[in-house]
Amino acid sequence: MIGLLLVLQTAAATMAAPIPTFIVVRDGGAIASVPVTIDVGQPSVRADALMRAMRGVLITSTNLHYTLSLPRARIDLIDGIPFAKRDTLTIPLTRAPQVRGGQLYLPFQFVTDVIPRYVGGYVYDPALSELRTVTAVASRPTASIQSASSTPVGTATAAPPVANRPVTPQPVFRRPPVRKTVVIDAGHGGPDRGMTGPIGSPAWFVEKDVTLSVAQKLATVLRARGVDVLMTRTTDTLIALADRGKIANSNHGDVFISIHVNAPGYNTAAAAREKGFETYFLAEAKTEDERRVQDMENESVKFETGANAQKGDPLNFIITDMAQNEHLRESSDLALTIQNGLIDVHPGPNRGVQQANFAVLRGSYMPAVLVEIGFGSNQSEATYLSDQDNQRALARNIAQSVLDYLAHYQSRVGGTR
Q: What is the mean pLDDT of each run of 10 residues along the chain (417 residues)?
A: 42 59 88 91 93 90 82 86 78 86 92 88 90 60 37 40 42 55 97 95 96 98 96 95 90 96 93 96 84 87 56 51 65 92 95 90 88 98 97 97 91 58
Q: What residues contact residue 28 under an 8 Å CB cut-off, 6+ apart?
A: 133
Under DSSP, the state recorded for 116 is I
pLDDT of residue 63: 66
End-to-end CA distance of the chain: 31
pLDDT given at position 413? 65
Residue 137's SS3 state is: coil
Sign of the C-alpha dihedral computed for residues 231, 237, 240 and 243 taken in this order: negative
| pLDDT of the residue at 140 | 36
C-alpha to C-alpha distance for 317 and 47, rounded to whole angstroms: 24
Tally: H helices and E strands in the chain: 12, 20
Q: Where are the domains of the chain?
A: 2-133, 181-413
Report pLDDT for 325.
Answer: 57
Rounded Cα gap, residues 98 and 46, in angstroms: 10
CA pair distance 18, 306, nearest whole angstrom: 53
CATH no. for 181-413:
3.40.630.40
Q: Does domain 2-133 have CATH number 3.30.457.10?
A: yes
DSSP result, 25-86: EEETTEEEEEEEEEETTEEEEEHHHHHHHTT-EEEE-STTEEEEEETTEEEEEETT-SEEEE
Residues 70 and 131 sit within 8 Å (Cβ to Cβ): no
